[in-house]
Structure 1
Amino acid sequence: MDTSAPASSAPARSDRSLGLLPEALQRRPKLFLALLCLLLWLPGFFTLPATDRDEARFAQASRQMVESGDYVRIRFGEEERNKKPAGIHWLQAASVHVLEATGLGTRDQIWAYRVPSLLGALLAVLATFHWGRGLVGRRAALLGAAMLASSLVLVAEAHIAKTDAALLATVTAAMGLFGIAYLRPALFGARQAAAFWLLLGLGVLLKGPIGPMVPLLCGITLAVSDRGAPWLRALRPLWGVPLMLAAAAPWFVAIGIATEGRFFAQAVGGDMLSKIGSGEEKHWGPPGFYLLSFGIAAFPGAWIVLCALPAAWRDRLNPPTRFLLAWVVPSWLVFEAVQTKLPHYTLPLFPALMLLGAAWAMDPVRRLPARGWRWAGVAVLVGVAVGLAVAAQGAAWYLLRALQPAGLLLVPLAGAVAFVLLRTAGRREWGRAGLLGALLAVPVYALVLEGVVPRLTPLWVAPRLAAAVAEQAPGLPPGQFGITSYSEPSVLFALGQDVRLLRTGGDAARFLAAAPGRVVAVGDRAEVDFRQAATTLAVSPQEIASVTGFNYSRGRWITLLLYRLTP
């Protein structure tokens, strides 16, 4: 990448940085963004089985809402699921009802529960462009929205039936409205204020305090740095805060009554505080984790954002840049301080980061960062591009002992993507490089999500187990199937909420012997205990099938042996 020419050489080429689109799409940027999102996200959307653990838990809890008609309490199997509010379950249940009413899908298909995530991600991208125009200009907003759409973490979240993509939509829209109030408070009307507070109320119903936290910390930061908050009056908090609480309060009152207060004790004391004070479910990470993982989470646009950050900090007195930095910095520090860390936790900050990166890329008089910082960005781009291809092919070889044709195409494609983007940036067409990255991500993600991952059959233990049960014991009544040694949430989604989750091989033998016609799956580690208990009970279990796979949640291989009693 050529870095020797002065920044002043950029203006001659900046106007054609986004000249990659047909004229019709340039006139309809929201249509272009919607098409880009579908091209990026639909591969794998229908073909990827339910993933452990969160997606299967959310989807199964939503299916039990649909089947029971109880839209207040959240249950997973026989247990109460008192961790997150009900907002995402309502959206998923509504998706299932619409799809079943139109005959397009059923409650047994995991993609039916992914629709709210896909729509939430789409709304977040469109909101980034819509409100980003007032912060960084139309062309930079279009580039920033495209970079957001193609970021690896959002592509992943659009495929997963849980809260984060829907939460991103509410946060992005709310922060867009906040940006208007900050920059042009005189033009911020009561309807916009009402929309702002209602969006925060919806965010509370989706993921508790995370949604309101982002604008709250942003507002505090702006008030301190500006030594005043003239925008606060425009937001009308005196009636806005009660409106936000009123939007969320009915369900919280109902769930408090229905669970006799257990929801609040478990959601706040058990879930939220454990994430703050310790690495819940082994998801611990050191301070700096999100900075180190940003290059992966925000691929392929991360390197442009990294190159833009020094210039954004120098431009912090500029009100739009100041607002975007206040959106990112305090919340980022909070996420870094919390002990439990996952790459998608910082997703509500990505729209601001992408807009900062796009504004720098489209600036005709941009200043390039220091050489070391620049080459760090290059290393991130090349490393993640090649690493993604190698990881996909490596997973295929480890799990299948074979090379996937789609995986073989990934390696040269990833190298070509990195080369094209670096060459384009070397001509100082950074905006064009950003948009090219979003466009070239389409075949990369399609090969991974449609050509490689669904074909890694050892990963998908639960669907294969359900197929084996259906083949060997067709028409098995509810409650007549038990399993030990593999209690992942996908088992309940694949086989139904009446599956008996058994702790030991002895429990499996006693379950099998308790009634005729039952079937039990026993993990290879529990087989000796199962056989000993069966001998003690004087029963003769017959092996009817086996399923071997890789439990990626625990990082180990497992073989499940299916038994029924000899007639």
Structure 2
Amino acid sequence: MHFSASPRQDLSLGLLPDALQQRPRLFLVLLCLLLWLPGFFTLPATDRDEARFAQASRQMVESGDYVRIRFGEEERNKKPAGIHWLQAGSVHLLEATHLGDRNRIWAYRIPSLLGALLAVLATHHWGRAIVGRRAALLGAAMLASCLVLVAEAHIAKTDAALLASVTAAMGLFAAAYLRPGAFTGRQAAGFWLLLGLSILLKGPVGPMVPLLCGITLAVADREAPWLRALRPGWGLPLMIAAAAPWFIAIGLATEGRFFQQAVGGDMLSKIGSGEEKHWGPPGYYLLTFGIAAFPSAWIVLCALPAAWRDRLNPPTRFLLAWIVPSWLIFEAVQTKLPHYTLPLFPALMLLGAAWAMDPVRGQPGRWWRRAGIAALVLVAAGLAVAALAAPWQLERRLLPGGLIALPAAAALIYLLLRVGRQRAWGRAGLLGALLAIPLYAAVLEGVAPRLAALWIAPRLADAVAASAPGLPAGQIGVTGYSEPSLLFSLGQDVRLLRTGMDAAQFLAGGPGRVVAVGNRAEADFRRQAATLSLAPQELASVTGFNYSRGRWVTLLLFRLPS
């Protein structure tokens, strides 16, 4: 591959009107909104991580304590407070402008949406100096349409915001590597402050990426003139100063429990074992890359052999150093989730886009191309089939969104393979991002929010509101279902009970109380109620599929007669 900003390399993307090619940021913003807004406002809070993050942020807003992180009555000593501050700020702004309130899950998703958008814009901005103007635009568009980023833009947690900070920091690192003499002190300060922000978002993950990249470059080049340009002498203290105040405050507030649980519990358990059944073998991320990077994975896979052959070229060398060592670390860690490698996706998309826009590109080997095509076809078909089959499997009905997903997936597969046969790879990359819009919209807006069976907690909250209007959360007990979305839907004071016997005793504990009893605990509940001479009145029932545990559950709502 040949990286430059020459007119020859910056071939027209073909599908994009010149007016938008001349306004690339406007195009990228419009593309991101079209890709990400479907489902953003309508998807209920998802279990488990999103509901935990959002509820902890809501408790910050309601308590005014912006140091400690709590979920219900428990301390949540796993991640730093950065994302909770961003989510709380989003809620305060929406409530001040009367555009939303703290009880709507989308209010907590705003930082994820903005973080994803900033990551895409940063990929374009810094990518121009690495791979050229039009390749940077194509790479940013490919990143915007990646399935894993589309998912993260819809979820109120850390990873999209972390991606923004890492992408911007690595863009500055690239500037220092490629042109160390022109790198300014202001840029160096921005680099270290961004790393400080990434620490407040997800601890050491953010600094790990540039650290491993720098070590790799120093070993490969046998020199590191870029290190002086980054000014680590005062940069490292600046990074520490940006993050240290909260860490000191949380250490004092929790008497050291935060560090004991975050480092000794959460971090080490992820490294040494598959936490919460999220174990995966080495090679997991490579095998699932076709899903996570859909619909652009096939172009990236085709580009990798050429990128390796071009590894002596400084821009290619930098992008590979961004990707390879951190990828190997993620593969070695026992706990694996698809979004863990997301900080590496901007570099992967830029590599793929540079190859696609290179007029003298080397053609991929047969197996690389077949693997890429297989991933493209299987994921597109899988999304369409899931959109059609899930409503039928869960509720014995078909949804219009599922019917739309089938032709959307078929069009994507047919048109991309047709353009691929013409070897118009740049056009294929952009076309994939555009054709993903109706497919994602069909799934995220037309199907997922309408699958009532999946959204147990909101339906239970509706049933309680209809049966006992205005009942405080402390007067509601639940057994047989304890997902975090319960607290977000019913309130932090809802009582999570262990057994049916506990449910009967809770009901007897005060007038006006309501208890939801899971079908597996119903027999024990009724026996204990009889022992206590109670005659509970069944008010409603909610049946749904607990996707976190992979099983159906029925919750029966009871109250004592007045």
Q: TM-score over 0.5 for the alignment? A: yes
**Match for residue 263 of structure 1 among 258, 261, 277:** 258
TM-score (norm 2): 0.98
* Structure 1 position 412, deviation (Å): 2.2
Conserved 8 A contact 1:17-1:429: no
Q: 1:216 aligns with which of 206, 211, 216?
A: 211
Matched position secondary structure for 1:479: helix
* Equivalence map 1:488-507=2 (5 Å): 488-507=483-502
Aligned to 2:283: 288
Where do residues 502-517 of structure 1 align in structure 2 (5 Å cutoff)?
Answer: 502-517=497-512
Q: Distance in 2 between matches of 1:49 and 1:125?
A: 25
Deviation at 1:12, TM superposition (A): 13
Is 2:396 the counterpart of 1:401?
Answer: yes
How far the C-alpha of 1:16 sits from its partner, in A, is: 5.5
CA apart distance, 1:209: 0.2
Task: Tell me if structure 2 keeps the 8 A contact 1:13–1:428.
Answer: no
- Asked if the contact 1:14–1:429 (Cα under 8 Å) also holds between the matched residues in 2, the reply is no
* Within-5 A mapping of 1:316-465: 316-465=311-460
**Correspondence 1:30 to 2:25:** yes
% identical equivalent positions: 81
Q: What residue is the counterpart of 2:246 in the other structure? A: 251
Partner of 2:539: 544
Q: CA deviation at 1:375?
A: 1.2
2: CA distance, partners of 1:177 / 1:283? 33
Instruction: Measure how far apart 1:477 and its partner are.
Output: 2.5
Find the aligned partners of 1:15 and 1:130 in 2 and give their Cα distance.
15
**Aligned counterparts of 1:36 and 1:408: Cα–Cα separation in 2:** 23
Q: What's the CA shift for 1:372?
A: 1.6
Contact 2:10 2:132 in 1 (8 A): no
CA distance in 2, matches of 1:376, 1:70: 51
Aligned residues of 2:28 and 2:141 also touching (Cα < 8 A): yes
The answer to whether residue 136 in structure 2 is matched with residue 104 in structure 1 is: no
Q: Is the 8 A contact 1:413 1:444 kept in 2?
A: yes
Q: 1:475 matched to which residue of 2?
A: 470
> How far does residue 566 in structure 1 lie from its aligned partner after superposition?
1.9
CA distance in 1 between partners of 2:145 and 2:321 (Å)? 24
Any conservation in 1 of the 2:273–2:279 contact (CA below 8 Å)?
yes
Amino acid of the residue matched to residue 550 of structure 2?
Answer: G
Superimposed CA distance per residue, residues 254-308 of structure 1 (whole angstroms, 9 cap, x where no aligned partner): 0000000000000001100000000000000011000010000000000000000
| 1:521-536 to 2 correspondences below 5 Å | 521-536=516-531
Contact 2:12 2:134 in 1 (8 A): no
Instruction: Pick the aligned partner of 1:129 from 119, 124, 130.
Output: 124
Shift of 1:14: 7.7
| Partner in structure 1 of residue 169 of structure 2 | 174
Give the distance between the partners of 1:424 and 1:368, measured in 2 at CA: 15
Do 2:387 and 2:401's aligned partners in 1 also have CA atoms closer than 8 Å? no
What is the CA deviation profile of residues 139-171 of structure 1, one whole-angstrom value per residue up to 9, with x for unaligned ones? 000000000000000000000000000000000
User: CA 1:391–1:449 in 2, change beyond 3 Å: closer, same or farther?
Assistant: same
8 Å CA contact 2:473–2:490 kept in 1: the answer is no
The more displaced of 266-275 and 385-394 is 385-394
Structure 2 unpaired stretches of 5+: 1-5
TM-score, scaled to structure 1: 0.97
Task: Give the drift of 1:22.
Answer: 2.0
Change (3 A) 1:45 1:229: same
After TM superposition, list the pairs within 5 Å mapping 1:295-310 onto structure 2.
295-310=290-305
What is the DSSP-based 3-state SS (H/G/I as helix, E as strand, rest coil) of the residue aligned with 1:231?
helix
**Residue segments in structure 1 that go unaligned for 5+ positions in a row:** 1-10
Pairwise CA distance, 1:338? 0.4
Question: CA shift at 1:422, angstroms?
Answer: 1.1
C-alpha distance in 2, partners of 1:250/1:493? 29
With over 3 angstroms needed to count, the CA separation of the structure-2 counterparts of 1:150 and 1:427, relative to structure 1, is same
Residue 516 of structure 1: SS of its match in structure 2? coil
**What is the alpha-carbon distance in structure 1 between the residues aligned to residue 367 and residue 330 of structure 2?**
27
Q: 1:74 aligns with which of 46, 52, 69?
A: 69
The alignment partner of 2:93 has SS state of: helix
RMSD (Å) for aligned C-alpha atoms: 1.2
- CA distance in 2 between counterparts of 1:432 and 1:266 reads 49
Which segments of structure 1 move beyond 4 Å, counting only runs of 4 or more? Answer: 11-17
Length, aligned pairs only: 557
Q: 2:139 maps to which residue?
A: 144
The yes-or-no answer on 1:46 pairing with 2:41 is yes
Question: 2:250–2:258: 8 Å Cα contact kept in structure 1?
Answer: yes
Separation in 2 of the partners of 1:324 and 1:261? Answer: 39
Q: Determine the C-alpha separation between the residues in 2 that align with 1:234 and 1:296.
A: 38
Distance in 1 (CA, whole Å) between partners of 2:473 and 2:338 is: 38
Secondary structure of the structure 2 residue equivalent to 1:389: helix
Q: Name the SS for the 1:522 alignment partner.
A: strand
The residue aligned with 2:114 is 119
Letter in 2 for 1:415: A
**Deviation, structure 1 residue 67:** 0.3
- Return the offset for 1:441: 0.6
Counterpart CA distance in 2 for 1:366 and 1:21 is 22
Aligned-pair distance for 1:130?
0.1
Is the 1:14–1:431 Cα contact (8 Å) retained in structure 2? Answer: no
Measured in 2, the distance between the counterparts of 1:301 and 1:183 equals 27
**AA of the residue aligned to 2:332:** A
Residue 418 of structure 1 aligns to which amino acid in structure 2? I
- Secondary structure of the residue aligned to 1:487 is coil
